[in-house]
Structure 1
C-alpha cells in the first residue's frame, strides 16, 4: 500500500501508528480534516484480516466523520481510530491507558469516543490519561452510551425518508427489515414498535435476535435472507457494504435507512439505488445522532438540548433528499455536496482572512 498516495487522494492530514508492546496495543489514528474544528471520531476494535485492511478502514471511517460532522452542523472535523484485536479477549486496562496517552499527545487535535468493539467502560479508562475523550460514564458528567441517541436519530431520519417515498412520515403498519440488532438497532426497534411498525430482524448473534423477537414481536429470518424479504424499509444496522452488486437485484424495499456506516460498497451502488427509485438516507447523515449527542459534552452535557439537536436529523435528511430530487443527484452525492460546501466555505473564508493581514487566535488563547 502506498500510504502517501492514499493520504493525498482524499487529502488526509495525518495517519498515526500507535503501539505498546507490553499491553498488546496496535492502534491506527486517522485524522482527515480539521477545518471545522478538532477531529472527533470513535475508537473501533476489530479482528482485521491484515494491517492494510485496518488502515483502509481507519481512513474510510475518518473521512466519513468529517462529512458527518459537517452536515450535522458541528464545529468539528473528522477522525477515527481502529485497534487491531479481538474485543472479546484482547482488551486490558494497560492497553487503553497507553492509547489514552497517545491521544493526549495530540493535544486536542483528536477527540475519541466509543465505537464497534469498545464500550463506555473502555472510555472511562482512556479518561484516566486524557481529557480528549467523550462517552464516558454519566458519573463523570458525560452522556454515557451513545447508542440510544444514534437510534433516535435513525428513527427521525427514517421518518423523513418515508415521507419522501410514501407521502407520509407515519411508520404505522410499515414493514421494516432490520439487519443487525445490536445496541443501536435494539433501541431503534423500540421506537418502531411503539409507532406500530412490523419488524423483521436478523443477526449473527442468536441471543440478540431472541431478545428482539420476545420484546417487540419481531419476525426472525436468516442473515442471508434479510436483504430480499418483502418490506417497505430496509434498515442496515450491522457492518457496512451491504448495498453491493449481489444485493441490489434482491432489494424489495422502497426506502433504505439504517445505522450502519459505509452502507454502499462503492459510490456506483448509490447511483444504482437512485436509478431504481429507491430512497436512500445517506448513512453518515442519518446515523449522526451519537456524535451530535457526545459533541454536546464539549459544552457541558445537557440531554434535553442534545436530543433536540439529534431530532434535527429529520430536517437534514429532508434537505438532502430535496436536493437530490431537484438536482438529479443521487442522495449520497447530495449529502457529500452539502458537507464539501460547508468545509470549502470556511477554508476560503479563512484563507481570505489571513491573506488580508488578519490573524486568528486559538480557542485556548481566546479563553485565556
Structure 2
C-alpha cells in the first residue's frame, strides 16, 4: 500500500496533464465530426483547466485561497464531462479534494463535486441524449453507484494516509524527545561527576593543603627536618588542586570528543527501525578531524532537519552529504517532501542558521512546492579543524 501511494503521488501530476491533453484531442475529434463552432468554446474551457491546474496544484496551498479555484475546476470539468463524455479529470479532482486538511471545506467541496456530477448526468441524458428520465434512471443510478464506490475507495486510502502521517508525526516527536532526553542525561551526568569531584576530592585536597601548611609552620624551626621536602609536598598538593579545578571546568563545559559518523548512524538507525523515511548518507572521513564544536553543530542540524522533514514535509527519502575540501566544510540535506512556495523560518530553521553563524559559516534554505526542501551549509577556513 505504501509503495502504491508513493508511486501515485509521483505520477499524479503527470497523469493530470495527460488527461487534459486527452480531453483536448476528444474535443478536436468532435469538432471535426460535427463542424460545430461550440466545440471551440470547449477548447477555451480546456485551456482554462490547464491554467487552473497549474495555479491550484503547483502554486497554491489547498487550504489557503484556492477554494474558488477548486470550484471553477469542478464546474469546468463537469461541463466537459457533459459535452465530450470524458470524466477522467473530473474523478481525478475527487482525489485532490481529500488532500484538503480543513474538514469543513473538504465536505463542502465534495458536496459540490457530487452535486455537479448529478446535474451533469441529468443534463447529459435528458438534454443532450434526449432520453426520458424514467428510461435512463437505471443508468444514472448505476453511475451514481460507481461514483460512491470511487468515493469510498478514496476515503479509505486517504484515511490510511492520515493515520500513517499521524503515526509518523508521533514517532518523529518521540525520536526528537529521545534526542533531547539523551542530551539532558549526558549533561546531568557530566554535572554530577564534576560536582562530586569538587565536593569530595576537592575538599580532601584542600584539607591536605591546610595540614601541610600547618606542619610546615610547626617544623620551620626544627633543624633536623628536611624543610625542602615539605615544600615539594605542598607544591604537589597545589598542582593537584589546580588540575582538579581544570578537570571540573572541562567537564562542565564540554561533552568531549566523539565519533560523528557513529553518532549519525545511530540517529539514522532510529528512523530506519521505524520505517519512517529512507536516509542516504554520504560522509567524508576527514570530518572526524573537525573540532567538537563543529561536530555538535552538524549533529544538531541533521537531527533538526530529519525531524522537520518527517513532521512537516512528509518526505519518504532524505539525502545527507557531508564533505571537507580545501578547509571548507559543506553540509547538504535534501528531501523529496511536499516542499513549499514560501519559506517561513521557524525556531528550528533559525536555530540552524544561528549555529552556523556562531562558527563563522552560512546556511541557505531552498524549496518549491512538491519539489522537496534543501539545506546547504558551509564553514570556511581552517578554524573548523583541530
TM-score by length of 2: 0.24
User: Which structure shows the higher strand fraction?
Assistant: 1
CA radius of gyration, larger in: 2
TM-score by length of 1: 0.25
User: Which structure shows the higher helix fraction?
Assistant: 2
